[in-house]
Amino acid sequence: MTAEEITTVLDTALSFSEVSARAIKKVPALRGKTIVNLFYEPSTRTRASFELAEKRLSADIINISTSTSSLKKGETLLDTVRNLCAYKVDVIVIRHSVAGSPLYLARNIESSVVNAGDGTHEHPTQALLDIFTLRKKLGGLKDKKIVIVGDILHSRVARSNIWGLTKLGAKVTIVGPPTFIPRLVENMNVDVSHDLFEALKDADAVNMLRIQREREKKPLFPSLREYAKIYGLNSEKMKNIPENIIVMHPGPINRGVEISSQVADGPNNVILEQVTNGLAVRMAVLFLVTGGTTLHPETLSS
């Protein structure tokens, strides 16, 4: 996505965020459109967010969630999706454990494909909602310092955030033990640090990634205890970093590991705001991929 496209999504999301504040939280923007939510990986929040976004836009939806790939049942992903597309589906929202699967699908089918997270590759709507939240809080992103902490190697949230933030002019620093830093990541225009305090001392916001031990084929750090000690954000550490720093987390939170309960629930956190904003961002994305361009008053009228 270009900076301009990102801005279009964010601006559109701003209009949609108002819908959820109404008594009747529904608009006819996607009436008559069909959307399939195809989740090959367990998901609670992203799936709920997409489903609610679709419902508030009045789309007809089908939810398919399976942790076993269709391949194991003998059917290929493409055959599964082509079967669904035979119903003249407009959008496939897909989450998949294998990087590149949404692109692979998009190349082989007519319907639009929305990436709801693919392996350790990208999670574009999460990054868009993070950026939406930051833009709202900071006014803009130009020259703001955003720090992303945790397992960058296995984080699709980090990758999408890095692309989006740097395109909008933010300065991104990633922090974690060396085993969490993917090779040549500095070529993605980010600074790398292994020192949390050093990175945070002049930061505007920090995004604390969830530790995903399930993605490590072999352990990359000794223990959660040691990780929490060195990289976890707790109220003690908060004393030594900018007072008004914005604390983000893509969820689900491992309380006491990457972030303590006091910080997660504390005054700097925008974690639940991220969730709320996610709904508006996903409404905007679905509206735009189904051909929506301008928001006519009737699109937004209940």
Partner 1 sequence: MKIIIKNGNIIDPLQNLDIKGWILVDNGKISDFGEGNPKNDFNADEVIDAENLVVSPGFIDLHVHLREPGGEGQETIETGSRAAVAGGFTSIVCMPNTTPPVDHASTVKFINLEANRVNLANVFPTGTISRKREGKELADIGELVQAGVVAITDDGSPVEDACLMRTALEYSKMFPIPIMEHCEELQLKNEGVMNEGFFSTKLGLRGIPSACEDVMIARNVILAKYTGGRLHISHLSTKNGTQIIRDAKNQGVNVTCEVTPHHLTLTDEALSDFDTNFKMNPPLRTESDRQALAEGLVDGTIDAIATDHAPHTITSKNVEFDYAPDGVIGLETALPAVFTKLVKEDKIISLSQLIELLSTKPAKIINQKNKGSLKKGADADITLFDIKSQYSIDSEKFFSKSRNCPFNGNKVYGKVVQTIVAGKTKFETGKIGN
Judged by the rule CB under 8 A, the positions of this chain that interact with partner 1 are 69, 71, 76-78, 96-101, 103-104, 118-122, 156, 159, 182-185, 187-188, 217-218
Shorter beta-carbon distance to partner 1: residue 186 or 198: 186
How far is the C-alpha of 116 from the C-alpha of 125, rounded, in Å?
7
State the nearest-atom distance from the C-beta of 227 to partner 1, in Å.
Answer: 20
Instruction: Find the helix packing angle between 124-138 and 45-56, rounded to 10°.
Output: 80
Those residues whose C-beta lies under 8 Å from the C-beta of residue 243, and which sit 6 or more positions away, are: none
Q: What is the 3-state secondary structure (H, E, C) of the chain?
A: CCHHHHHHHHHHHHHHHCHHHCCCCCCCCCCCCEEEEEECCCCCHHHHHHHHHHHHCCCEEEEEECCCCHHHHCCCHHHHHHHHHCCCCCEEEEEECCCCHHHHHHHHCCCEEEEEEECCCECHHHHHHHHHHHHHHHCCCCCCEEEEECCCCCCHHHHHHHHHHHHCCCEEEEECCHHHCCCCHHHHCCEEECCHHHHHCCCCEEEECCCCHHHCCCCCCCCHHHHHHHHCECHHHHCCCCCCCEEECCCCCCECCCECHHHHCCCCECHHHHHHHHHHHHHHHHHHHCCCCCCCHHHHCC
8 or 97, CB closer to partner 1? 97
- Picking from 143, 148, 142, the residue whose alpha carbon sits closest to that of residue 173 is 148
Instruction: With CA atoms as reference, report the closest residue to 278 among 86, 61, 98, 133.
Output: 133
Smallest distance, partner 1 to C-beta of residue 97, A: 8
CB of 94 to partner 1, least distance (A): 11
**Shortest CB 183 distance to partner 1, Å:** 6
Q: How far is the CB of 91 from partner 1 (least distance, A)?
A: 20
Q: How far is the CB of 156 from partner 1 (least distance, A)?
A: 6
Neighbours of 284 (CB within 10 A): 28
Nearer to partner 1, 54 or 151 (CB): 151
Residue with smaller CB distance to partner 1, 119 or 251: 119
Least separation in angstroms between CB 118 and partner 1:
7
Nearer to partner 1, 189 or 261 (CB): 189
Nearest approach, Cβ of residue 23 and partner 1 (Å):
42
Identify which of residues 96 and 135 has a Cβ nearer to partner 1 in the complex. Answer: 96
Q: Which is nearer to partner 1, 73 or 218 (CB)?
A: 218
